[in-house]
Structure 1
Amino acid sequence: MEYKRILLKLSGEALMGNQQYGIDASRLEQYSLEIKKVKDLGIEIAIVIGGGNIYRGVQAESSGIDRVQGDYMGMLATMINAMALQSALENHGLYTRLMSGIKMEQISEPFIRRRAMRHLEKGRIVIFGAGIGNPYFTTDSTASLRAIEIEADVVLKGTRVDGVYSADPEKDPNATRFSKISFQEAYQKGLNIMDMTAFTLCQENNLPIRVFDMNKPGNLAKLVQGEEVGTLISS
Protein backbone atom coordinates (compact mmCIF):
# COMPACT_ATOMS: atom_id res chain seq x y z
CA MET A 1 0.00 0.00 0.00
CA GLU A 2 1.13 3.55 -0.74
CA TYR A 3 -0.07 4.76 2.67
CA LYS A 4 -0.64 3.12 6.05
CA ARG A 5 -2.66 5.90 7.73
CA ILE A 6 -4.65 8.55 5.86
CA LEU A 7 -6.66 11.64 6.74
CA LEU A 8 -9.59 11.96 4.34
CA LYS A 9 -11.03 15.47 4.01
CA LEU A 10 -14.54 15.67 2.58
CA SER A 11 -16.53 18.83 1.92
CA GLY A 12 -20.01 19.21 3.33
CA GLU A 13 -21.23 20.43 -0.08
CA ALA A 14 -20.28 17.07 -1.59
CA LEU A 15 -22.94 15.39 0.56
CA MET A 16 -25.66 17.49 -1.08
CA GLY A 17 -25.42 15.52 -4.32
CA ASN A 18 -27.86 17.20 -6.71
CA GLN A 19 -29.87 18.76 -3.90
CA GLN A 20 -29.84 22.43 -2.91
CA TYR A 21 -28.92 21.69 0.71
CA GLY A 22 -28.86 18.89 3.27
CA ILE A 23 -27.65 15.31 2.85
CA ASP A 24 -28.24 13.15 -0.22
CA ALA A 25 -28.68 9.56 1.02
CA SER A 26 -27.31 8.07 -2.21
CA ARG A 27 -24.13 10.18 -2.03
CA LEU A 28 -23.67 9.24 1.62
CA GLU A 29 -24.02 5.56 0.68
CA GLN A 30 -21.53 5.94 -2.17
CA TYR A 31 -18.92 7.53 0.08
CA SER A 32 -19.34 4.91 2.80
CA LEU A 33 -18.80 2.11 0.27
CA GLU A 34 -15.68 3.82 -1.12
CA ILE A 35 -14.30 4.16 2.42
CA LYS A 36 -15.13 0.51 3.18
CA LYS A 37 -13.08 -0.63 0.15
CA VAL A 38 -10.06 1.17 1.54
CA LYS A 39 -10.65 -0.09 5.07
CA ASP A 40 -10.79 -3.66 3.72
CA LEU A 41 -7.27 -3.11 2.35
CA GLY A 42 -6.01 -2.60 5.90
CA ILE A 43 -5.58 1.17 5.77
CA GLU A 44 -6.04 3.21 8.96
CA ILE A 45 -8.57 5.97 8.23
CA ALA A 46 -9.38 9.27 9.89
CA ILE A 47 -11.97 11.62 8.39
CA VAL A 48 -12.75 15.34 8.62
CA ILE A 49 -15.95 16.53 6.98
CA GLY A 50 -17.17 20.08 6.42
CA GLY A 51 -20.60 21.52 7.10
CA GLY A 52 -21.21 23.77 4.10
CA ASN A 53 -24.28 21.81 3.02
CA ILE A 54 -25.98 22.96 6.25
CA TYR A 55 -24.29 26.14 7.40
CA ARG A 56 -21.07 28.09 6.87
CA GLY A 57 -19.62 30.41 9.49
CA VAL A 58 -18.63 32.92 6.82
CA GLN A 59 -22.34 33.32 5.98
CA ALA A 60 -22.84 34.81 9.41
CA GLU A 61 -21.66 38.35 8.69
CA SER A 62 -23.90 38.78 5.65
CA SER A 63 -26.90 37.54 7.64
CA GLY A 64 -26.24 39.80 10.62
CA ILE A 65 -24.98 37.05 12.92
CA ASP A 66 -21.76 37.60 14.84
CA ARG A 67 -18.85 35.83 13.06
CA VAL A 68 -17.77 33.89 16.14
CA GLN A 69 -21.33 32.74 16.78
CA GLY A 70 -21.63 31.79 13.11
CA ASP A 71 -18.44 29.73 13.24
CA TYR A 72 -19.76 27.76 16.20
CA MET A 73 -22.98 27.15 14.25
CA GLY A 74 -20.82 25.84 11.41
CA MET A 75 -19.06 23.48 13.82
CA LEU A 76 -22.43 22.05 14.85
CA ALA A 77 -23.22 21.52 11.15
CA THR A 78 -20.06 19.42 10.78
CA MET A 79 -21.25 17.25 13.67
CA ILE A 80 -24.54 16.55 11.90
CA ASN A 81 -22.60 15.40 8.81
CA ALA A 82 -20.14 13.41 10.91
CA MET A 83 -22.99 11.57 12.68
CA ALA A 84 -24.65 10.79 9.33
CA LEU A 85 -21.39 9.42 7.93
CA GLN A 86 -20.76 7.43 11.10
CA SER A 87 -24.17 5.81 10.83
CA ALA A 88 -23.65 4.98 7.14
CA LEU A 89 -20.25 3.39 7.82
CA GLU A 90 -21.59 1.33 10.72
CA ASN A 91 -24.42 0.07 8.50
CA HIS A 92 -21.65 -1.64 6.51
CA GLY A 93 -20.17 -3.30 9.57
CA LEU A 94 -17.32 -0.86 10.14
CA TYR A 95 -16.22 0.19 13.60
CA THR A 96 -16.08 3.96 14.11
CA ARG A 97 -15.42 6.59 16.73
CA LEU A 98 -16.64 10.18 16.54
CA MET A 99 -14.39 12.70 18.28
CA SER A 100 -15.41 16.32 18.74
CA GLY A 101 -13.49 19.55 19.21
CA ILE A 102 -16.38 20.71 21.43
CA LYS A 103 -17.60 18.65 24.38
CA MET A 104 -20.73 16.70 23.43
CA GLU A 105 -20.56 13.68 25.73
CA GLN A 106 -23.88 12.17 24.69
CA ILE A 107 -22.88 11.75 21.04
CA SER A 108 -19.07 11.85 20.83
CA GLU A 109 -15.77 11.56 22.61
CA PRO A 110 -13.64 14.64 23.24
CA PHE A 111 -10.56 14.80 21.02
CA ILE A 112 -7.59 13.29 22.85
CA ARG A 113 -4.62 12.63 20.59
CA ARG A 114 -3.42 9.40 22.19
CA ARG A 115 -6.93 8.00 22.29
CA ALA A 116 -7.46 8.84 18.61
CA MET A 117 -4.24 7.07 17.66
CA ARG A 118 -5.21 4.04 19.75
CA HIS A 119 -8.57 3.82 17.96
CA LEU A 120 -6.76 3.87 14.61
CA GLU A 121 -4.34 1.16 15.74
CA LYS A 122 -7.31 -1.00 16.73
CA GLY A 123 -8.79 -0.66 13.25
CA ARG A 124 -11.52 1.84 14.00
CA ILE A 125 -12.36 4.68 11.62
CA VAL A 126 -12.04 7.97 13.50
CA ILE A 127 -14.24 10.90 12.43
CA PHE A 128 -13.25 14.34 13.70
CA GLY A 129 -16.19 16.73 14.08
CA ALA A 130 -16.69 20.33 15.26
CA GLY A 131 -13.41 21.53 13.80
CA ILE A 132 -10.68 22.23 16.33
CA GLY A 133 -13.24 23.81 18.65
CA ASN A 134 -12.26 27.40 17.93
CA PRO A 135 -13.73 30.05 15.61
CA TYR A 136 -11.85 31.47 12.60
CA PHE A 137 -10.45 28.06 11.63
CA THR A 138 -11.78 26.12 8.65
CA THR A 139 -12.24 22.37 8.33
CA ASP A 140 -9.23 22.43 5.98
CA SER A 141 -7.17 23.67 8.92
CA THR A 142 -8.72 20.98 11.09
CA ALA A 143 -7.77 18.31 8.56
CA SER A 144 -4.16 19.51 8.39
CA LEU A 145 -3.78 19.83 12.15
CA ARG A 146 -5.40 16.49 13.00
CA ALA A 147 -3.38 14.73 10.29
CA ILE A 148 -0.15 16.04 11.81
CA GLU A 149 -1.27 15.13 15.34
CA ILE A 150 -2.17 11.53 14.46
CA GLU A 151 0.95 11.16 12.28
CA ALA A 152 -1.00 10.47 9.08
CA ASP A 153 1.00 9.79 5.91
CA VAL A 154 -1.07 12.11 3.73
CA VAL A 155 -4.10 14.40 3.58
CA LEU A 156 -6.49 13.20 0.87
CA LYS A 157 -8.78 16.04 -0.17
CA GLY A 158 -11.81 14.56 -1.92
CA THR A 159 -13.47 17.05 -4.25
CA ARG A 160 -15.67 17.05 -7.36
CA VAL A 161 -12.74 17.75 -9.72
CA ASP A 162 -9.92 15.36 -10.59
CA GLY A 163 -7.04 17.39 -9.22
CA VAL A 164 -5.47 20.85 -9.15
CA TYR A 165 -5.69 22.95 -12.32
CA SER A 166 -3.94 26.09 -13.51
CA ALA A 167 -7.39 27.76 -13.54
CA ASP A 168 -10.97 26.80 -12.72
CA PRO A 169 -11.68 23.94 -15.16
CA GLU A 170 -15.42 24.60 -14.94
CA LYS A 171 -14.87 28.13 -16.29
CA ASP A 172 -11.68 27.92 -18.37
CA PRO A 173 -11.56 25.18 -21.06
CA ASN A 174 -7.81 25.78 -21.45
CA ALA A 175 -7.02 24.99 -17.82
CA THR A 176 -4.35 22.30 -17.42
CA ARG A 177 -4.14 19.75 -14.63
CA PHE A 178 -1.00 19.20 -12.58
CA SER A 179 -0.11 15.62 -11.70
CA LYS A 180 2.47 16.82 -9.16
CA ILE A 181 3.36 20.25 -7.82
CA SER A 182 5.45 21.54 -4.93
CA PHE A 183 4.06 23.65 -2.09
CA GLN A 184 6.24 26.54 -3.26
CA GLU A 185 5.00 26.36 -6.85
CA ALA A 186 1.38 26.16 -5.73
CA TYR A 187 1.88 29.24 -3.56
CA GLN A 188 3.63 31.21 -6.32
CA LYS A 189 0.91 30.36 -8.84
CA GLY A 190 -1.80 31.38 -6.36
CA LEU A 191 -3.58 28.03 -6.62
CA ASN A 192 -6.55 27.77 -4.28
CA ILE A 193 -6.00 24.29 -2.82
CA MET A 194 -6.64 24.92 0.87
CA ASP A 195 -6.80 28.02 3.02
CA MET A 196 -3.37 29.45 3.84
CA THR A 197 -3.32 28.26 7.46
CA ALA A 198 -3.99 24.65 6.43
CA PHE A 199 -1.58 24.83 3.51
CA THR A 200 1.24 26.26 5.63
CA LEU A 201 0.74 23.61 8.33
CA CYS A 202 1.21 20.87 5.73
CA GLN A 203 4.21 22.57 4.15
CA GLU A 204 6.04 23.16 7.43
CA ASN A 205 5.46 19.55 8.55
CA ASN A 206 6.28 17.94 5.18
CA LEU A 207 2.79 16.45 5.03
CA PRO A 208 1.77 15.78 1.41
CA ILE A 209 -1.70 16.63 0.13
CA ARG A 210 -3.43 14.79 -2.67
CA VAL A 211 -6.47 16.36 -4.33
CA PHE A 212 -8.71 13.94 -6.23
CA ASP A 213 -12.24 13.33 -7.49
CA MET A 214 -14.08 11.54 -4.67
CA ASN A 215 -17.22 11.16 -6.78
CA LYS A 216 -15.57 8.77 -9.27
CA PRO A 217 -16.06 5.19 -8.02
CA GLY A 218 -12.83 3.40 -7.15
CA ASN A 219 -10.61 6.49 -7.05
CA LEU A 220 -9.93 6.33 -3.33
CA ALA A 221 -8.90 2.66 -3.43
CA LYS A 222 -6.70 3.21 -6.50
CA LEU A 223 -4.99 6.11 -4.79
CA VAL A 224 -4.00 4.24 -1.62
CA GLN A 225 -2.68 1.39 -3.77
CA GLY A 226 -0.22 3.71 -5.46
CA GLU A 227 -1.96 4.64 -8.71
CA GLU A 228 -1.53 8.19 -10.01
CA VAL A 229 -4.90 9.72 -9.16
CA GLY A 230 -5.47 13.46 -8.88
CA THR A 231 -2.71 15.91 -7.98
CA LEU A 232 0.04 15.43 -5.41
CA ILE A 233 1.28 18.53 -3.55
CA SER A 234 4.49 17.91 -1.63
CA SER A 235 7.87 19.35 -0.71
Structure 2
Amino acid sequence: MDNTPPDPTADPLADAVYALREEGYVVNRPLPGALLVEGRFLNPERIALHAAGEAGDATLGVWAVSRENDWTLVAWSRPDLVTITQRGAAVPRWRHRRLPPAMRPDAQTFLEGGASPHDIVTTPKHRPTDAAREVLAGLGITEPEPPGWEPPPPPPAPVAAPVAPPKPRRTRVPAAKPVSTRGKPDPVVNVCPTCFMAIPATGICDNCG
Protein backbone atom coordinates (compact mmCIF):
# COMPACT_ATOMS: atom_id res chain seq x y z
CA MET A 1 0.00 0.00 0.00
CA ASP A 2 1.33 3.42 -0.97
CA ASN A 3 1.47 5.69 2.10
CA THR A 4 2.96 8.62 0.23
CA PRO A 5 1.14 11.83 1.21
CA PRO A 6 -0.97 13.15 -1.68
CA ASP A 7 -0.25 16.31 -3.60
CA PRO A 8 -2.64 18.96 -2.21
CA THR A 9 -2.35 21.00 -5.41
CA ALA A 10 -4.26 18.29 -7.29
CA ASP A 11 -7.00 17.99 -4.66
CA PRO A 12 -7.41 20.64 -1.92
CA LEU A 13 -9.01 18.04 0.36
CA ALA A 14 -6.33 15.40 -0.18
CA ASP A 15 -4.38 16.26 2.98
CA ALA A 16 -7.49 16.03 5.12
CA VAL A 17 -8.48 12.66 3.60
CA TYR A 18 -4.97 11.30 4.08
CA ALA A 19 -4.73 12.42 7.72
CA LEU A 20 -8.12 10.96 8.59
CA ARG A 21 -7.41 7.59 7.00
CA GLU A 22 -4.06 7.46 8.77
CA GLU A 23 -6.04 7.64 12.02
CA GLY A 24 -8.03 4.58 10.94
CA TYR A 25 -11.27 6.38 10.14
CA VAL A 26 -13.57 5.58 7.24
CA VAL A 27 -13.68 8.54 4.85
CA ASN A 28 -16.18 9.01 2.02
CA ARG A 29 -16.88 11.94 -0.26
CA PRO A 30 -20.64 12.42 -0.75
CA LEU A 31 -20.08 15.83 -2.38
CA PRO A 32 -17.09 17.23 -4.30
CA GLY A 33 -16.32 19.65 -1.48
CA ALA A 34 -17.46 17.59 1.51
CA LEU A 35 -16.20 14.58 3.46
CA LEU A 36 -18.05 12.05 5.59
CA VAL A 37 -15.94 10.59 8.40
CA GLU A 38 -17.01 7.63 10.54
CA GLY A 39 -15.15 5.83 13.29
CA ARG A 40 -15.04 4.73 16.91
CA PHE A 41 -14.46 8.23 18.24
CA LEU A 42 -16.72 9.87 20.83
CA ASN A 43 -16.27 13.58 20.02
CA PRO A 44 -17.27 14.20 16.38
CA GLU A 45 -16.73 17.95 16.66
CA ARG A 46 -13.00 17.56 17.34
CA ILE A 47 -12.60 15.16 14.40
CA ALA A 48 -14.39 17.50 11.98
CA LEU A 49 -12.42 20.55 13.17
CA HIS A 50 -9.13 18.66 12.82
CA ALA A 51 -10.07 17.70 9.26
CA ALA A 52 -10.91 21.30 8.39
CA GLY A 53 -7.58 22.39 9.83
CA GLU A 54 -5.74 19.85 7.64
CA ALA A 55 -7.39 21.40 4.58
CA GLY A 56 -5.76 24.77 5.28
CA ASP A 57 -7.63 27.55 3.53
CA ALA A 58 -9.52 25.21 1.21
CA THR A 59 -13.29 25.55 1.39
CA LEU A 60 -14.86 22.30 2.54
CA GLY A 61 -17.52 20.63 4.63
CA VAL A 62 -16.82 17.73 6.99
CA TRP A 63 -19.40 15.47 8.58
CA ALA A 64 -18.13 13.33 11.44
CA VAL A 65 -20.36 10.60 12.90
CA SER A 66 -19.34 9.01 16.20
CA ARG A 67 -19.87 5.45 17.36
CA GLU A 68 -22.76 6.76 19.49
CA ASN A 69 -24.46 8.10 16.31
CA ASP A 70 -23.81 11.71 17.36
CA TRP A 71 -22.59 13.95 14.55
CA THR A 72 -21.03 17.29 13.70
CA LEU A 73 -20.92 19.21 10.45
CA VAL A 74 -18.09 21.70 10.03
CA ALA A 75 -18.40 24.07 7.08
CA TRP A 76 -15.25 26.10 6.48
CA SER A 77 -14.95 28.98 4.04
CA ARG A 78 -12.49 31.53 5.36
CA PRO A 79 -13.19 33.57 7.39
CA ASP A 80 -16.46 31.76 8.22
CA LEU A 81 -16.36 28.65 10.38
CA VAL A 82 -19.75 27.00 10.95
CA THR A 83 -20.21 24.02 13.26
CA ILE A 84 -23.49 22.16 13.71
CA THR A 85 -23.56 19.47 16.39
CA GLN A 86 -26.25 16.91 17.17
CA ARG A 87 -26.09 14.82 20.33
CA GLY A 88 -28.74 12.22 21.08
CA ALA A 89 -32.27 13.47 20.56
CA ALA A 90 -31.37 17.12 21.29
CA VAL A 91 -31.94 19.93 18.80
CA PRO A 92 -28.86 20.53 16.57
CA ARG A 93 -26.68 23.33 17.93
CA TRP A 94 -25.34 25.86 15.42
CA ARG A 95 -22.26 27.99 16.00
CA HIS A 96 -20.90 30.57 13.57
CA ARG A 97 -17.44 32.10 13.99
CA ARG A 98 -15.42 34.59 11.93
CA LEU A 99 -11.72 33.80 12.19
CA PRO A 100 -8.81 36.22 11.81
CA PRO A 101 -6.33 35.47 8.98
CA ALA A 102 -3.78 33.61 11.13
CA MET A 103 -6.26 31.32 12.95
CA ARG A 104 -7.10 27.76 11.87
CA PRO A 105 -10.36 25.85 12.40
CA ASP A 106 -8.56 23.39 14.69
CA ALA A 107 -7.33 26.07 17.11
CA GLN A 108 -7.32 24.77 20.68
CA THR A 109 -10.02 27.18 21.81
CA PHE A 110 -12.40 25.68 19.25
CA LEU A 111 -11.42 22.09 20.01
CA GLU A 112 -12.34 22.67 23.65
CA GLY A 113 -15.84 23.71 22.58
CA GLY A 114 -16.02 26.91 24.61
CA ALA A 115 -17.12 30.37 23.59
CA SER A 116 -14.61 32.67 21.92
CA PRO A 117 -14.39 36.34 20.90
CA HIS A 118 -14.91 35.20 17.30
CA ASP A 119 -18.41 33.81 17.91
CA ILE A 120 -21.37 35.47 16.22
CA VAL A 121 -23.95 35.52 18.99
CA THR A 122 -27.56 34.75 18.09
CA THR A 123 -30.78 35.16 20.04
CA PRO A 124 -31.81 32.59 21.07
CA LYS A 125 -28.42 30.92 21.31
CA HIS A 126 -27.10 28.33 18.86
CA ARG A 127 -29.45 29.22 16.02
CA PRO A 128 -28.33 29.45 12.37
CA THR A 129 -27.42 32.81 10.89
CA ASP A 130 -28.18 33.72 7.28
CA ALA A 131 -24.45 33.86 6.58
CA ALA A 132 -24.01 30.35 8.03
CA ARG A 133 -26.69 28.99 5.71
CA GLU A 134 -24.94 30.67 2.78
CA VAL A 135 -21.71 28.85 3.65
CA LEU A 136 -23.55 25.52 3.54
CA ALA A 137 -25.29 26.45 0.29
CA GLY A 138 -21.94 27.31 -1.28
CA LEU A 139 -20.83 23.72 -0.58
CA GLY A 140 -24.02 22.26 -2.05
CA ILE A 141 -25.26 21.19 1.40
CA THR A 142 -29.02 21.59 1.74
CA GLU A 143 -29.50 19.83 5.09
CA PRO A 144 -27.02 19.68 7.99
CA GLU A 145 -27.68 15.99 8.75
CA PRO A 146 -25.05 13.55 7.42
CA PRO A 147 -26.01 11.64 4.26
CA GLY A 148 -27.74 8.39 5.19
CA TRP A 149 -27.90 9.27 8.87
CA GLU A 150 -30.92 8.02 10.78
CA PRO A 151 -32.00 9.73 14.00
CA PRO A 152 -32.11 7.62 17.16
CA PRO A 153 -35.52 6.30 18.20
CA PRO A 154 -37.35 8.42 20.76
CA PRO A 155 -36.91 7.33 24.37
CA PRO A 156 -39.65 5.02 25.65
CA ALA A 157 -42.51 6.70 27.43
CA PRO A 158 -42.29 6.33 31.20
CA VAL A 159 -44.51 3.59 32.55
CA ALA A 160 -46.68 4.73 35.42
CA ALA A 161 -46.52 2.57 38.51
CA PRO A 162 -49.74 0.66 39.14
CA VAL A 163 -51.98 2.38 41.64
CA ALA A 164 -53.29 0.12 44.36
CA PRO A 165 -57.06 0.37 44.85
CA PRO A 166 -58.07 2.08 48.08
CA LYS A 167 -58.68 -0.21 50.97
CA PRO A 168 -62.36 -0.44 51.94
CA ARG A 169 -63.19 1.32 55.15
CA ARG A 170 -64.34 -0.99 57.89
CA THR A 171 -67.69 0.09 59.29
CA ARG A 172 -68.45 -1.01 62.80
CA VAL A 173 -71.92 -2.50 63.07
CA PRO A 174 -73.35 -2.37 66.59
CA ALA A 175 -74.14 -5.79 67.97
CA ALA A 176 -77.83 -6.61 68.12
CA LYS A 177 -79.30 -6.69 71.59
CA PRO A 178 -80.49 -10.14 72.62
CA VAL A 179 -84.23 -10.52 72.48
CA SER A 180 -85.72 -11.69 75.74
CA THR A 181 -87.85 -14.80 75.37
CA ARG A 182 -89.52 -14.23 78.70
CA GLY A 183 -93.10 -13.04 78.15
CA LYS A 184 -95.75 -11.83 80.58
CA PRO A 185 -97.47 -14.67 82.51
CA ASP A 186 -100.91 -15.62 81.34
CA PRO A 187 -103.64 -14.19 83.62
CA VAL A 188 -105.28 -16.63 86.08
CA VAL A 189 -109.02 -17.01 85.39
CA ASN A 190 -111.31 -18.26 88.14
CA VAL A 191 -113.73 -20.89 86.82
CA CYS A 192 -117.06 -21.84 88.33
CA PRO A 193 -116.76 -25.43 89.61
CA THR A 194 -120.34 -26.13 88.64
CA CYS A 195 -120.73 -24.77 85.09
CA PHE A 196 -117.10 -24.21 84.37
CA MET A 197 -117.73 -20.63 83.20
CA ALA A 198 -115.41 -17.79 84.07
CA ILE A 199 -116.33 -16.06 87.27
CA PRO A 200 -116.36 -12.25 86.96
CA ALA A 201 -114.50 -9.96 89.29
CA THR A 202 -117.49 -9.94 91.65
CA GLY A 203 -116.67 -13.54 92.53
CA ILE A 204 -120.29 -14.70 91.84
CA CYS A 205 -120.99 -16.91 88.80
CA ASP A 206 -123.47 -15.29 86.47
CA ASN A 207 -125.07 -18.68 85.69
CA CYS A 208 -125.16 -20.37 89.04
CA GLY A 209 -125.52 -17.34 91.30
State if a TM-score over 0.5 links the two structures. Answer: no
Q: TM-score range by the shorter chain?
A: under 0.3
Q: Which has the larger radius of gyration?
A: 2
TM-score computed with the length of structure 2 as normaliser: 0.25
The structure, 1 or 2, with the larger RCO (C-alpha pairs under 8 Å, 6+ apart) is 1
The TM-score with structure 1 as length reference comes to 0.23
**Structure with greater proportional helix content:** 1
